[in-house]
Amino acid sequence: AQSVTQLDSHVSVSEGTPVLLRCNYSSSYSPSLFWYVQHPNKGLQLLLKYTSAATLVKGINGFEAEFKKSETSFHLTKPSAHMSDAAEYFCVVSDRPGGYNKLIFGAGTRLAVHP
């Protein structure tokens, strides 16, 4: 069965410093992995996705993630945090029994950005 584990429930950074949100995955086949962001009282927005092409994936708003098969990791990074980055972030793996797209979410990491 597919699963993801987000290693930190809360991460706090200062504005202008790097962001690292950690995610490990478990999958019995080559996974499709995603990072979604959720701002308060909003729906989920896709940040980026990995689909077995390049292992370094660039997303929106300066975020990127690197797929490391040997470490079963898909960590999300950003060189310089902005106040508007404060939100809940979800690492997600696509579960594809029968070929249908069903997403399995991690528990989430709440990112706080301080001035």
Partner 1 sequence: DAGVTQSPTHLIKTRGQQVTLRCSPKSGHDTVSWYQQALGQGPQFIFQYYEEEERQRGNFPDRFSGHQFPNYSSELNVNALLLGDSALYLCASSLAGARLDSPLHFGNGTRLTVT
Question: 59 vs 62, which CB is nearer to partner 1?
Answer: 59
Which H or E run contains 33? Answer: strand 33-38
- To partner 1, the closest distance from the beta carbon of 94 in angstroms equals 6
Strand 33-38 relative to strand 44-50, pairing: antiparallel
Residues contacting residue 110 through CB under 8 Å, at least 6 positions apart = 9, 10, 11, 87, 88, 89
Question: 50 vs 81, which CB is nearer to partner 1?
Answer: 50
Among 2, 27, 32, 73, contact with partner 1 (rule: CB under 8 A): 32
* Residue ranges binding partner 1 (CB under 8 A): 32, 34, 36, 41-46, 49, 51, 90, 94, 96-108
